[in-house]
Chains A and B, each alone.
Chain A
């Protein structure tokens, strides 16, 4: 009987020692598991991205290397770059793209809300279940964490990105960035900017459904606004669509405010703008 008492005492004491041991290593373990949880969510997010986002935003999030899901062929990227300092680097406390969009919250909130609710104007689908999309809330969270994980010291090492300040005079801009007409045609046809969606194909006037057909814009553009060359007119039309509303559009009077997206200035590179301006200015001449 005494043996049982001794065994019982030893068992309780050993249990206490083991619990003490577990307690001591617990804070470090919790830290590792906290990191592990986020890491695994990012892994899951990478899969969501690959299956849903890569065909528009690019395999590596740079709006390059987009492949058609069904055929595997390479296609033009319809989405904007995500793996960029504009979105991810905090420079002086708010990433550039958040400032452009007037977003007052966090990066996480910005990415999660755009993923979940979509942006119908620019073609970004609605993904979140709460808004009728196919992804569950945890999948939206996972892919958001994945995108944010593209932020690294290397990515943000350079100077913080600044919005290109478009000069008022197109000649100043063309002096810095000479344009190429052939490249400009490619910009016009680029599905990312979707010019053809409203202004149609150049060789088919009937295909312009919403905006004016542009096959003669090199001549007409010089006559729209007094004192503006065709280049200046085209340049301002792209950057500030509401500066001048054309009276006639294919489906009736042109809408005011303009139906043309107002954010090309944020989305286009200086080179693309120059190419497009010289290309359009060459039409009709």
Chain B
């Protein structure tokens, strides 16, 4: 084997050999194009109203400020309307020491718990989200009250539309690329929630630590 390897490096490439290499390269590029096109072909696309696609919700479906969340089952999200500075609804939405001065706006919370994937519920008597699997609890805006969830509720991209279906506002990104609450413009007619664009929630201290009642 070794002798063959040595004689290999001394001979030059003939034209015929070179043409084969060019052909080989063209086959490699063809295969690469084929693979790329196959992925484009096979990636599922979602129409409006299918989970994975966008959902358009008229603003009259939004909850009142600090009211219990509105369920959008097809989209697998809750619509929440929070304002930590509003005295009404403080049992559901309240501010703790390390929250920003004011948390206000609309958000679309993914219904899947950030712990291990169960669907958490809104518990009216407790005024919070609670997950039946391992007991994670969340505030109206999705921040963790109790673990074992590792981060606050994930959110979907949210934009506001006017009567001509033009985008007039979008949710901003926070420091960790999470979706922040969006202020609703006065001329908004509908919201469009993109369930194909989900961002993780943040990891902040558990709220129960502020009230010294962590289990």
A residues near B (Cβ < 8 Å) are: 1-2, 5-6, 8-9, 12-13, 15-16, 19-20, 23, 93
Contact = CB atoms under 8 A, between A and B. Distances in A.
A9 B18 CA distance: 12
Contact of A23 (B23, B27, B37, B58): B37
Contacts of B189: 93
Contacts of B34: 19
Q: Majority SS of interface residues in chain A?
A: helix
B15 A2 contact: yes
Interface residues of B, number: 17
A9 B19 contact: yes
Given A2-B16, A2-B19, A5-B19, A12 B26 contact: yes
9 contacts: A1-B16, A2-B19, A5-B16, A12-B26, A12-B29, A16-B30, A16-B33, A19-B33, A93-B189
A86 B37 CA distance: 47
Contacts of A23: 37, 40
A258 B22 CA distance: 88
Contact of A13 (B19, B26, B37, B40): B26
B211 interface: no
A1 B17 CA distance: 11
A16 B23 CA distance: 13
A16 B29 CA distance: 9
Interface of B: 15-16, 19-20, 22-23, 26-27, 29-30, 33-34, 37, 40, 58, 60, 189
A126 B15 CA distance: 78
A8 B29 contact: no
Given A6-B19, A12-B29, A23-B37, 6 more contacts: A2-B15, A9-B23, A9-B26, A12-B23, A12-B27, A16-B30
Contacts of A93: 58, 60, 189
A19 B27 CA distance: 14
A132 B122 CA distance: 38
A90 to B, nearest CB: 9
Contacts of B23: 5, 8-9, 12
A15 B30 contact: yes
Contacts of B20: 5
Contacts of A9: 19, 22-23, 26
A12 B19 contact: no
Nearest to A11: B26
Contact of A19 (B22, B37, B58, B60): B37
Contacts of A16: 26, 29-30, 33
Nearest to A20: B33
Nearest to A7: B23
A9 B37 CA distance: 20
A5 B15 CA distance: 11
A15 B40 CA distance: 18
The 5 lowest CB-CB distance pairs between A and B, nearest first, are A12-B26, A5-B19, A9-B23, A12-B30, A9-B26
B24 to A, nearest CB: 9
A237 B100 CA distance: 61
Nearest to A106: B49
A140 B189 CA distance: 31
B169 to A, nearest CB: 19
A25 to B, nearest CB: 14
Nearest to B45: A30
Nearest to A108: B49
Nearest to A8: B23
B79 to A, nearest CB: 15
Nearest to A13: B26
B29 to A, nearest CB: 7
B61 to A, nearest CB: 9
Please indicate which of the listed interface residues B16, B27, B29, B30 has the most CB atoms of chain A within 10 Å of its own CB: B30
A15 B33 CA distance: 10
Contacts of B58: 93
A19 B37 CA distance: 9
